[in-house]
A = this chain, B = another copy of it.
Amino acid sequence: MDEAAHLFVVQGFDGTSLRTIANTVGMKAGSLYYHFDSKNALLEAILNKGIAVMVEAFDQAQAQPHATAFDRFQSHVRAHLGALYENGPYTAAHVTTFRTAPPEVRDAIVPIRDSYEAKWTTLLHQLVEDGTLAADTPIGLARLILFGAMNTSIEWFDASQGTLDNLAQVISRQFLTGFGTGDTQ
C-alpha cells in the first residue's frame, strides 16, 4: 500500500498499473488479489488511510496545550501538513486522486471525508466565538480556501528549501492577517 499510494501520487490512479505496483514490491500482479479484491478496493483502502492519518494528526494537535488561540490554529495547520508529508503517502494520495477516482470509490469515501471536514468547521467556529476570527467569516468558504492553500503545496513544497514548521507559520499567519498592510481598503 505504501508503494501503491506513492505511485498514485506521482502517476495518478489510471496511470499506474497493477503490474507496476506489483513489480515495485517484488511481486506479480495476480498476487495482489490475495490482499485486495480489486484495484478499486486498493484505492479505497488507501484513500481511507489517508483520512485516518489526517484525523489522527488533527486529534493529536487538539490534545496539546496551547498558549493562544493562534497557537492552537497553527498547530492544526502544522498537523495537516504533517499528514501530507511526514506520515506516508496516504494523505497525499487522497488529496491528489480523490477528484478523479471512480464514482463508486468516491461515494464510499465521502462520508468519512466529511467527518474530517466537520472537525475543521468546528475548530473555525470556535475561533469565531473566541474572537480570533471575524464574526462575519464565511466559515465554509474559509475552510475551503485554507485547504486549498495547504493541499496544493503538494505541487511545489520542497523539504530541501523550507521546513514544514515555517510553511505552517506562513499559511497560518496569512490566513488570519493576510499579506497586506491595511493601507488600502
Contact = CB atoms under 8 A, between A and B. Distances in A.
A121 interface: no
Interface residues of A, number: 47
A104 to B, nearest CB: 14
B170 A177 contact: no
Contacts of A13: 12, 15
B179 A137 contact: yes
A153 interface: yes
Contact of A100 (B10, B148, B152, B173): B10
A79 to B, nearest CB: 18
A42 B145 CA distance: 32
B151 A99 contact: no
A75 interface: no
Interface stretch (A33-41, A50-58, A81-89, A127-135): A127-135
A69 interface: yes
